Structure 1
Amino acid sequence: MKRKFTGLLSLLSVFAIIAAGCTSASGSQQGSGAAKQQSITAVGSTALQPLVQEAATQYMNENAGATINVQGGGSGTGLSKVVEGAVQIGNSDVFAEEKDGIDASKIVDHKVAVVGFAPVVNKDAGVKNITKQQLIGIFTGKITNWKQAGGKDQKIVVINRAEGSGTRAVFEKTALDGATTVKAQEQDSSGTVQKIVSETPGAISYLAFSYINDKVQALKVDGVEPTEDNVKTNKWEIWAYEHMYTKGEPKGLTKKFLEYMLSDEVQTNLVPKLGYMPVSQMKVERDADGNMTNKSGK
């Protein structure tokens, strides 16, 4: 009986050693997988979202195991979430210093592109060029019919971006000279704005160049066309840097992805393809207070 019991203990010991070996091997594999698998999230500007999304897709295709989640929500959301540490990257159309309630000292700015914005109207409004004062009058509710701006006898329908939108902040500051816009329908997404303007008679709003297509009419302002060449010299004043903010200096996958955003692969190919401009091509610089300086040698 004692011999059988001893044999049973020996057998159990062998099973225990084998099980321990399997557990150890399994744990080693999981640990190795965890080391390879990395995930980050970028949230914020819908104007910048198409570029970040496309770059993220390319990066993940070239780097197995990396996961980059890209979401919209507006610049205000991107800035607040990165300050909180809830996401690794906060995308914004505006400097953090321009946003109330954001402590810019806690985050680091990475400018990855420049984007122009333009007022856009429904193609049946009968308008292709307006003055800046007319534009301000429309968005402040003083001009309510397109006939007052050289167009058809048609009611103007203002479509605004939501509070917290960087696109809205840029447009109000650079196109409307800081004027407060009239109460109107508000939308969170640039894509939704484009669709509504294209389908609503008399509609007017504003979009990043990257969202403008032949379904809407982009307006000249005081005879100046909304083109990249005019943005580069500030002849067209409605533009902004596209920022990707991090909480402190970036590390790991966040750092690698931001380096990729600034690489030739993205800046030379993807940025212009999607309707943005490399920061390096600008002939002027603008700071958070709106002060302009000419770049030397440009």
Structure 2
Amino acid sequence: MKKIMGTLGALALLLLLCFGWFQARGSGATITKVTDVGSTALQPLAEAAIPGFLKNHQNINVTVQGGGSGTGLSQVQAGAVDIGSSDVFAAQQAGIDASKLTDHIIVVTGIVPIVNPKLGVDNLSMDQLRGIFAGKITNWKEVGGPDKKITVINRASGSGTRLAFEQVVMGRQETVKAQEQDSNGTVKQIVSNVPGAISYVSSAYLNDQVKALMIDHVEATSKNISNNRWKLWSYEHMYTTKHAKKATLAYIRYLQSADVQSHLVKEAHYISIHDMKVRRDADGVVTKIGEK
């Protein structure tokens, strides 16, 4: 009898241990992972929003990585990530079937030409900016600056910021072959260290390390971007598959919420989608909001 009771006791202990193991496993299984890869222009906002989002979504783990718009779009299309962040419409990116993805526009960012603060140049005309990036203007003295060679730092070919820049600034002109970098942060660092360098970054990356140029004496302010006086801007998109999981959509809805759009978006130097007076389509056509 004692042997039977001992066996039953051991069995009960084993069941209790198993129950605890399954309970722990069940608790761990409630954590849902959301992975966002792509645009480095959107990355600062996407990362900054995570703490606020997690306050009411402790069961969701959000990971944000750069890599460029092309990478983000190709990976979300392949099902490798939940969100593909992009500075451009999916229809503009080669190899992407936009019909299989859902577009969630999060914010608008200015794209701003930058130079070294010690250069002494504050303004370029659009023609001069185009001439520099086409390789036709090669010395700063040609645009009223010092006698110094211009060093063009371009964005990598997979960069959505580059595609948006070329659509607005270059038109049909080819961009000069130059050093290429795939992130806003790296570009800013190089320009801050190279006296004759010029490049362009998302407005979220501007600080006193670099000098933001005016174009045709127009500054890249939120007001000028919202009414298209500053024409060099792009949407920041988050693309998902047609059947995105609930956790992914919850994170995107949080970024689009009034709380984030009215506070965090402005603090991070983006423009709220609700403040825009114009819209731009994938072909680059700009119309006033309210007009067809």
Q: Same fold (TM over 0.5)?
A: yes
Question: 4+ runs of 1 displaced by more than 6 Å?
Answer: none
Q: How does 1:182-221 map to 2 (within 5 A)?
A: 182-221=176-215
Which of 12, 19, 23 matches 1:24? 19
- Are the structure 2 counterparts of residues 274 and 178 from structure 1 closer, same or farther at C-alpha, using a change threshold of 3 Å? farther
Question: Where does the alignment leave 5 or more consecutive residues of structure 2 unmatched?
Answer: none
- Give the CA deviation at 1:62: 4.3
**Corresponding residue SS for 1:110:** strand
Question: Where does the alignment leave 5 or more consecutive residues of structure 1 unmatched?
Answer: 1-5
Which of 119, 129, 136 matches 1:142? 136
User: How far, CA to CA, are the matches of 2:37 and 2:9 in structure 1?
Assistant: 53
Give the aligned length: 291
The structure whose Rg is larger is 1
**Corresponding residue SS for 1:125:** coil
Query: After the TM superposition, which of the residue ranges 264-273 and 125-134 deviates more from structure 2?
Result: 125-134
Between the aligned residues of both structures, percent identity stands at 48
Q: How does 1:100-115 map to 2 (within 5 A)?
A: 100-115=94-109
Give RMSD over aligned pairs: 1.6
**TM-score, structure 1 normalization:** 0.93
**Corresponding residue SS for 2:33:** strand
User: How far, CA to CA, are the matches of 1:33 and 1:200 in structure 2?
Assistant: 49
Q: Deviations over 1:186-205 (max 9, x none)?
A: 11210111111111010000
- Give the CA deviation at 1:220: 1.5
1:272 paired residue number: 266
Q: Letter of the 1:119 partner, please give it.
A: P
**TM-score, structure 2 normalization:** 0.95
2:162 paired residue number: 168
Contact 1:124–1:202 (CA under 8 A) maintained in structure 2: no
Query: After the TM superposition, which of the residue ranges 64-73 and 144-153 deviates more from structure 2?
Result: 64-73
1:48 paired residue number: 42
User: How far, CA to CA, are the matches of 2:179 and 2:54 in structure 1?
Assistant: 37
Query: After the TM superposition, which of the residue ranges 190-199 and 24-33 deviates more from structure 2?
Result: 24-33
Q: Deviations over 1:181-231 (max 9, x none)?
A: 111111121011111111101000001111111221111112222221111
**Corresponding residue SS for 2:18:** helix
- Give the CA deviation at 1:61: 4.2
Contact 1:81–1:87 (CA under 8 A) maintained in structure 2: yes
Q: How does 1:253-268 map to 2 (within 5 A)?
A: 253-268=247-262
Q: Letter of the 1:44 partner, please give it.
A: G
User: How far, CA to CA, are the matches of 2:28 and 2:193 in structure 1?
Assistant: 49
